[in-house]
């Protein structure tokens, strides 16, 4: 079977009788089987997907299928699906089954998507290489020795290796965009509040957003318009109306674009990544776009600010995994206190424990002002400065990551080195801005280089239109 790059291609082949949803599901199940060594899936819903495919084929035939009919998707193991296991790739949620579905799952199912399985990720989405998962690392399909990126590594590889058409990941500081960049696929992080967080396992509540990982900008737009919007279960979900993003992905006028000087000329950027940026800038200018260099000196504070606030929120969000009410409980526990200490010590991995401790520390009496309160002020500054830039320009462009996919184990010895891999993605996260990563070049090492586009709050349409324009030109 041919490799599909968009739902439109799938639907067109179905309507021409060239394939069926059932055939497609069988194909993807086959791909999942032959690529099991990539470790992208934790669980595959084989029988369910097959049964549902039959129903949706029938719906297509009778002409009452939903927008996502024919789309086979995977979901990150952070997304709750009623009566299905969900574990945040952590031992602490071993065997836990969700009693309810996340809003994003419900909305996808209502539009006839098929969920084919649950994808591996960094434990509680804490990581940039998918190496902190209790289920082990995920291999990059293009080079099995290299990282998938993270934390939505399984999701990115599931799309990259043609094991499904699209995936839903979650992005807190780049966890959709960075693995998309490493795997040569499209990854979208919506504006904070654009997509409901109901049913999304929380890492850092004021950052977490669900985002699609796809082959095409068109599919990312389509998935976003299905999952986005107001939700009675989440008061941080915006009431802002959701445009039909996928219906008008054309550039009506040329956006004014800025690129961050620090993200092109800064240190630690792979020369070919820099080259990609320079050539994109040149091409755009040749096409008549205004593309100007701006300074963003606050960028060096973005990573520390991000880690102070996200770990603070995480230390509280992860308190519920205490061995008392659900999930893993240590067999060595003898009383309440040892239940807490032993269950959490045994149930959480190293990176999660590191972040819980860091977060607990920055919120502690006597340290709060020096760390958490200060980080909140810097976050406000980064947000305000970013918004100011976006009052002069429509979009910002920068690399998604300073390098292409790195090797397994390359950055695991020093957490700070790993944290710095987030340097270009955390700005949009801190400012709550929408951002998308699209494949923009191929490195001489054979790996994909992602270009990141940041838009204005709730202006995903403009961002998607431009991303589509770049994609079409390649």
Partner 1 sequence: MSNTIYDQYEAVIGLEVHAQLSTKSKAYAADSAGFGDDPNTNISVITLGHPGTLPMVNNVVINFAVKMGLATNCEIRLINEYARKNYFYADLPKGYQITQDTTPICTKGFLDVKLKDGSIKHIGITRIHMEEDAGKSIHDQDMYDSLIDLNRAGVPLIEIVSEPDIRSAEEAGAYLTEIRKLVRYLDICDGNMEEGSMRCDANISVRKKGDQILGNRCEVKNLNSIRNVQRAIEFEVIRQIDVIEAGGHIDQNTLNYDAVSGTTSVLRSKEMANDYRYFPEPDLPPVILTESYIEEVKHNMPALPDELFKKFINEFNLSEYDAHNILEQKEIALYYIEITNHTTNYKGAANWLMGAVKSYLNEAAVDIADFPLKPAQIAELVSIVDEGKINITTANQQLFPALLKDNTKTALSLATELNLIISTSNDDVLAFIHEAMAKYPEKVAEYKAGKKSLTGLFMGEVMKLAKGKLDPKEANKLLAQELER
* Number of helices followed by number of strands (H, E) in the chain: 16, 13
Dist CA 302 CA 385 (whole Å): 12
Dist CA 259 CA 252 (whole Å): 21
Among 49, 157, 200, 405, binds partner 1 (CB under 8 A): 200
In the complex, minimum distance from the CB of residue 340 to partner 1, in angstroms, rounded to a whole number: 6
List the interface residues with partner 1, window 419-448 (CB under 8 A): none
CA 70 to chain centre: 22
List the interface residues with partner 1, window 56-85 (CB under 8 A): 79-80
In the complex, minimum distance from the CB of residue 232 to partner 1, in angstroms, rounded to a whole number: 7
List the interface residues with partner 1, window 399-418 (CB under 8 A): none
Regarding 205 and contact with partner 1 (CB under 8 A), the answer is yes
CA 297 to chain centre: 26
Regarding 375 and contact with partner 1 (CB under 8 A), the answer is no
Q: What is the DSSP letter of 320?
A: G
Q: Which is nearer to partner 1, 312 or 401 (CB)?
A: 312
Strand partners of residue 174: none
Tally Cβ neighbours within 10 Å of residue 443. 17
In the complex, minimum distance from the CB of residue 108 to partner 1, in angstroms, rounded to a whole number: 15
In the complex, minimum distance from the CB of residue 238 to partner 1, in angstroms, rounded to a whole number: 10
Tally Cβ neighbours within 10 Å of residue 252. 8
Stretch that binds partner 1, among 1-9, 112-120, 197-205, 387-395 (CB under 8 A): 197-205
Regarding 198 and contact with partner 1 (CB under 8 A), the answer is yes
Strand partners of residue 212: 168
Q: Which is nearer to partner 1, 210 or 220 (CB)?
A: 210
* Per-position DSSP letters for 60-99, written without gaps between them: HHTT---TTTT-EEEEETTB--TTSB--TT-GGGTT-B-S
Regarding 206 and contact with partner 1 (CB under 8 A), the answer is yes
Dist CA 132 CA 152 (whole Å): 11
Stretch that binds partner 1, among 33-41, 90-98, 402-410, 442-450 (CB under 8 A): 90-98
Give the N- to C-terminal CA distance of the chain in Å, as an integer. Answer: 24
Regarding 352 and contact with partner 1 (CB under 8 A), the answer is no
* Strand 72-76 relative to strand 166-171, pairing: parallel
Q: What angle, rounded to 10 degrees, do the helices at 103-110 and 217-227 form? A: 110
- The answer to whether 468 and 250 have CB atoms below 8 angstroms apart is yes
Regarding 232 and contact with partner 1 (CB under 8 A), the answer is yes
Regarding 394 and contact with partner 1 (CB under 8 A), the answer is no
User: Which H helix or E strand runs over 12?
Assistant: helix 7-15
In the complex, minimum distance from the CB of residue 364 to partner 1, in angstroms, rounded to a whole number: 6
Stretch that binds partner 1, among 32-40, 200-208, 281-289, 385-393 (CB under 8 A): 200-208
Q: What is the DSSP letter of 405?
A: P
Binding mask 295-334 for partner 1 (x = CB under 8 A): -----------------xx-xx--xx-x-xxx--------
Regarding 365 and contact with partner 1 (CB under 8 A), the answer is yes
Q: Which is nearer to partner 1, 115 or 180 (CB)?
A: 115
Q: Which is nearer to partner 1, 12 or 316 (CB)?
A: 316
User: Which H helix or E strand runs over 294?
Assistant: strand 291-294
Q: Which is nearer to partner 1, 137 or 318 (CB)?
A: 318
Regarding 100 and contact with partner 1 (CB under 8 A), the answer is yes
Stretch that binds partner 1, among 42-50, 93-101, 160-168, 429-437 (CB under 8 A): 93-101
- The answer to whether 163 and 31 have CB atoms below 8 angstroms apart is yes
Buried b (16+ CB within 10 A) or exposed e, 269-291: bbebbbbbbeebbeebeeeebeb
Among 47, 62, 99, 391, binds partner 1 (CB under 8 A): 99
* Per-position DSSP letters for 22-51, written without gaps between them: HHHHHHHHHHHHHTGGG--EEEE-HHHHHH
Q: Which is nearer to partner 1, 117 or 199 (CB)?
A: 199
Dist CA 407 CA 466 (whole Å): 32
Stretch that binds partner 1, among 52-60, 229-237, 242-250, 466-474 (CB under 8 A): 229-237
Nearest to 245 by CA among 180, 191, 178: 191
Positions annotated as catalytic residues are 76, 151, 175
Write the burial class of residue 441 (CB in 10 Å: 0-12 exposed, 13-18 middle, 19+ buried).
middle
Regarding 360 and contact with partner 1 (CB under 8 A), the answer is yes
In the complex, minimum distance from the CB of residue 469 to partner 1, in angstroms, rounded to a whole number: 35
In the complex, minimum distance from the CB of residue 251 to partner 1, in angstroms, rounded to a whole number: 34
Q: Which is nearer to partner 1, 170 or 404 (CB)?
A: 170
In the complex, minimum distance from the CB of residue 343 to partner 1, in angstroms, rounded to a whole number: 11
Interaction site with partner 1 (CB under 8 A): 79-80, 86, 88, 93, 96, 98-100, 102, 197-202, 204-206, 232-236, 312-313, 315-316, 319-320, 322, 324-326, 336, 340, 360, 363-365, 368, 372
């Amino acid at each position: 079977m041919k490799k599909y790059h968009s739902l439109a291609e799938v639907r067109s082949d179905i309507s021409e009788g060239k394939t069926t949803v059932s055939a497609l599901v069988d194909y993807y199940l086959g791909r999942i089987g032959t690529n099991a060594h990539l470790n992208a899936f934790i669980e595959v819903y084989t029988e369910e997907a097959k049964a549902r495919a039959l129903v949706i084929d029938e719906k297509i035939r009778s002409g009452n299928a939903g927008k996502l009919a024919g789309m086979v998707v995977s979901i990150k193991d952070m997304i709750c699906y009623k009566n299905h296991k969900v574990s945040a790739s952590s031992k602490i949620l071993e065997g836990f089954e969700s009693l309810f579905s996340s809003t994003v799952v419900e909305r996808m199912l209502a539009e006839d998507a098929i969920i084919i399985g649950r994808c591996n990720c960094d434990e509680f989405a804490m990581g940039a290489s998918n190496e902190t998962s209790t289920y082990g690392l995920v291999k990059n399909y293009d080079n099995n020795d290299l990282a998938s990126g993270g934390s939505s590594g399984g999701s990115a590889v599931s799309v990259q290796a043609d094991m499904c058409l699209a995936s839903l990941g979650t992005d807190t500081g780049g966890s959709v965009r960075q693995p998309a960049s490493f795997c040569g696929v499209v990854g979208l992080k919506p504006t904070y509040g654009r997509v409901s967080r109901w049913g999304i396992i929380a890492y850092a509540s004021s950052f977490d957003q669900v985002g699609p990982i796809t082959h095409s900008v068109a599919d990312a737009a389509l998935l976003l318009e299905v999952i986005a919007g107001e939700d009675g279960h989440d008061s941080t979900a915006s009431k802002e109306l959701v445009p039909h993003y996928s219906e008008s992905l054309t550039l009506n006028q040329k956006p004014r674009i800025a690129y961050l000087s620090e993200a092109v000329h800064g240190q630690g950027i792979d020369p070919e990544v820099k080259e990609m940026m320079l050539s994109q800038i040149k091409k755009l200018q040749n096409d008549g776009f205004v593309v100007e260099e701006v300074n963003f000196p606050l960028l060096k504070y973005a990573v520390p600010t991000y880690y102070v606030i996200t770990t603070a929120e995480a230390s509280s969000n992860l308190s519920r995994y205490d061995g008392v009410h659900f999930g893993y409980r240590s067999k060595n526990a003898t009383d309440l206190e040892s239940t807490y200490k032993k269950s959490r010590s045994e149930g959480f991995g190293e990176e999660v424990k590191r972040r819980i401790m860091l977060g607990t520390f920055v919120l502690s009496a006597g340290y709060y002002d020096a760390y958490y309160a200060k980080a909140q002020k810097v976050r406000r500054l980064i947000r305000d400065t970013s918004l100011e830039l976006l009052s002069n320009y429509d979009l910002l462009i920068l690399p998604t990551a300073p390098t292409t996919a790195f090797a397994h184990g390359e950055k695991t010895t020093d957490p700070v080195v790993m944290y710095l891999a987030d340097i270009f993605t955390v700005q949009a996260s801190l400012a709550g801005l929408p951002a998308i990563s699209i494949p923009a070049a191929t490195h001489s090492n054979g790996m994909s280089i992602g270009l990141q586009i940041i838009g204005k709050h709730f202006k995903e349409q403009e961002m998607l239109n431009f991303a589509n324009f770049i994609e079409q030109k390649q």
